[in-house]
Structure 1
């Protein structure tokens, strides 16, 4: 069996992705939805098929607000994972108008638990609770329950593995998506100002580790101690930056995910198919001091 036969089939068509770097107003879901709709409109003008927003974009990443006003900050998902909150209507409408798809960070109540989630707003305006963050971090543990399963979105012939912020710090999280057949790893995050070195290194490394595209949309703005540096960027399957937004500014990083580039990289760098199934035990050799 050749390496190509052991990898998932590459998509046929390009996918244009926009990583939106937009500041949220803590606790003001209505205002944040309005801004998200504006960013989707701007992304459509650049031909985007998918627009991605940062972690907890809808309520804002602000633990004090999330703790004080869960009813105002959260949306509810039903047993089928659909969200029908009317506060999201402006976003649904702009998505339906432009026939794009959106992944956006939210605080979601589902089956009695509260999760940091990625919502998928599909081109028909349906809102799906697509993925719950598995690796919750520090302050988040007081407020949220970790997800138990990975998540993916199939958008046309593109398989997109999903992650949220701290998830991408764990190589095995992105690797699980790649092994499952992902062509790209799409992450919404919120890195505090000053964390840019780690943030950029993680997402470039996850791309090269798995020879797939990585899309990162980062939170920006806010006040200390919850001030975020952005860092939204799109990386090719060798971890090279295709597009980015400057730190501490709002904007869009827009790039085409190219199936040919994906196939060529995976043919040249065969880590995914060469990885051993079992590394065995560990031999220890004692050296004199």
Structure 2
């Protein structure tokens, strides 16, 4: 099974423009044989906490139908970032669209202190299946706690799918932590980070894949929009730039 992490510079608050860029990335990943694609944290709106309430959409929104159509056409599962409205507040969400199946949602369970004024924490972990692979999503800050990975591993996860919006410091810490997750839990890790302006920082890229022994298989640099293609069957990965990405 092939998976893809997309490293993307989302446009601040530009839902329609970001939808177009997401669809392009899905097309590129599908052409390379990906069965699952993951985007950075809050990728559809950009990581912009102050705009989250006004940009939030339910996973059932018709505005997501173009992404669903891409999933259906290519037979590919797509996990992306979006603020989700709930009765308890706005969640940092990861809708998961699957071809011909009901939409899933995952939301961040552990929030950073500076997210607390804008978001509410979710409560439930998720393990979902693609081509008989059991996959657990994690969103940024919570993925830096071994307990999160240990919990989903105990629930049957065989791959850790990490969606982040990290600074250069955060990526350095992630490059120490994620290999340890992989080694300790015998679980490959695929991580998608943003590049470019996000909230009050610059996304530091470095999207990467690690095998179940903690070996770094492939990574992108700190500024390039691109794809990390991971092949679970061969325990290999390749980093590719994205040509002609829509502006």
- Whether the aligned pair in 2 keeps the contact of 1:33 and 1:87 (CA below 8 Å) is no
In structure 2, how many angstroms separate the alpha carbons of the residues matched to 1:236 and 1:171?
17
What does the per-residue CA deviation read over 1:63-107, in whole Å, with 9 as the maximum and x for residues that have no partner? 2333xxx23x1112xxxxxx2212222211111111100011111
Give the counterpart of 2:113 among 124, 132, 138.
138
Name 2:25's counterpart in structure 1.
39
Q: Secondary structure at the match of 1:26?
A: coil
Give the counterpart of 1:156 among 108, 113, 131.
131
- Whether the aligned pair in 1 keeps the contact of 2:48 and 2:199 (CA below 8 Å) is no
Confirm or deny that 1:75 pairs with 2:61.
Answer: no
Q: Secondary structure at the match of 1:195?
A: helix
Distance 1:88 1:149, change over 3 A: same
In structure 2, how many angstroms separate the alpha carbons of the residues matched to 1:89 and 1:191?
28
CA shift, 1:226, in A, is: 2.3
The alignment's C-alpha RMSD in Å is 1.7
TM value normalised by structure 1: 0.77
Task: Return structure 1 stretches of 4+ with deviation > 3 angstroms.
Answer: none
Confirm or deny that 1:104 pairs with 2:86.
Answer: no
Name 1:274's counterpart in structure 2.
none
Distance 1:64 1:114, change over 3 A: closer
- Whether the aligned pair in 1 keeps the contact of 2:127 and 2:156 (CA below 8 Å) is no
Confirm or deny that 1:196 pairs with 2:171.
Answer: yes
Mark the structure with the bigger radius of gyration.
Answer: 1
In structure 1, how many angstroms separate the alpha carbons of the residues matched to 2:2 and 2:157?
16
In structure 1, how many angstroms separate the alpha carbons of the residues matched to 2:101 and 2:218?
28
TM value normalised by structure 2: 0.90
Name 1:166's counterpart in structure 2.
141
Q: How does 1:206-245 map to 2 (within 5 A)?
A: 206-222=181-197, 225-245=200-220
Give the counterpart of 1:178 among 132, 136, 153.
153
Structure 2 runs not aligned, ≥5 long = 236-247
In structure 2, how many angstroms separate the alpha carbons of the residues matched to 1:119 and 1:224?
21
- Whether the aligned pair in 1 keeps the contact of 2:5 and 2:229 (CA below 8 Å) is yes
CA shift, 1:211, in A, is: 0.6
Confirm or deny that 1:51 pairs with 2:27.
Answer: no
CA shift, 1:191, in A, is: 0.5
- Whether the aligned pair in 1 keeps the contact of 2:43 and 2:82 (CA below 8 Å) is yes
Name 2:69's counterpart in structure 1.
93
The count of corresponding residues between Structure 1 and Structure 2 is 235
User: In terms of mean alpha carbon deviation, does 202-211 or 84-93 score higher?
Assistant: 84-93
Q: Secondary structure at the match of 1:222?
A: strand
- Whether the aligned pair in 1 keeps the contact of 2:48 and 2:198 (CA below 8 Å) is no
